[in-house]
Amino acid sequence: MGQAGIRRHDPGPYGAEVRHDFLVDVDHARACRRLFSKPYLSDQFRFYGPKGHDVTFPEGLDGKRVGVFAGSSGEQFIKSKWGDKVETRPYQNLDQVNADLEAGRIDYGFNGQLPVSTFLKSAAGTESQWYGPSYSDPILGRGAGALLRKDEMELATKVNEAIAAVYADGTFEKLSQSYFGPQIDIKADKLW
């Protein structure tokens, strides 16, 4: 995810323009200063690695080398869940993780499904696949939501109702399937 995505500009009080960001990572520091809608998207994390491994997750992780972004929420999650059983290898970027995965220097990578899916669809990623379930946890983030001013409760209620309606009528699932396919779960309703 990123800092901001879709923006809507409205005339505010006294003609001043008001900006609304609709793709913002929900985090504690921002939530102290601003109001967030419920999250509508969550790039859940997942293990991936060379095809052909016969392993069950997470039991089969013992002694495995797992590549992650250095200092990331993914690294924190791996260390908190399997710290002494898994050898965590930190990298500066996803390309480095993927290169060491291809070279056999690590057994698996662990990252958000959206950036990894690009690698898996590339020529370099054709010999790799997803392993195990997708993970959604407060350590990994609270999804993306609309960022509003603290005094915009009425607008937040409307945005939350719209998000719930898109989930309830199946629109979110249809859009997710058409853009990302059946193997990538970006639903955030588990975080509500």
* Range of the structural domain that residue 108 is part of: 45-136
Residues 187 and 153 placed together within one structural domain of the fold: yes
Residue 29, domain member (yes or no):
yes
Q: What is the mean pLDDT of residues 83-101?
A: 94
Residues 63 and 125 placed together within one structural domain of the fold: yes
Q: What is the predicted pLDDT for the residue at 18?
A: 45
In sequence order, what are the residues at sequence separation of 6 or more whose Cβ sits closer than 8 angstroms to the Cβ of residue 50?
Answer: 101, 104, 127, 128, 129
**58-62, 67-71, 86-90: segment of lowest average pLDDT:** 58-62
Higher pLDDT, 101 or 136: 101
Residues 35 and 88 placed together within one structural domain of the fold: no
**13-27, 102-116, 143-157: segment of lowest average pLDDT:** 13-27
In the predicted model, what is the mean pLDDT of the chain? 84
Residue 182, domain member (yes or no):
yes
Cis peptide before 50 (omega within 30 of 0): no
Residue 57, domain member (yes or no):
yes
Q: What is the mean pLDDT of residues 141-170?
A: 92
Q: What is the predicted pLDDT for the residue at 138?
A: 84
Residues 57 and 100 placed together within one structural domain of the fold: yes
pLDDT band at 26 (very low <50, low <70, confident <90, very high): low
Q: What is the DSSP letter of 139?
A: G
Last residue in a domain, options 136, 151, 169? 136
Q: What is the predicted pLDDT for the residue at 70?
A: 94
Q: What is the predicted pLDDT for the residue at 28?
A: 56
Last residue in a domain, options 116, 136, 156? 136
Residues 79 and 111 placed together within one structural domain of the fold: yes
Residues 51 and 131 placed together within one structural domain of the fold: yes
Count of structural domains, the chain: 2
Degrees (nearest 5) of the Cα angle 159, 30, 133? 75
Locate tokens 């690009």: which residue? 118
Higher pLDDT, 114 or 28: 114
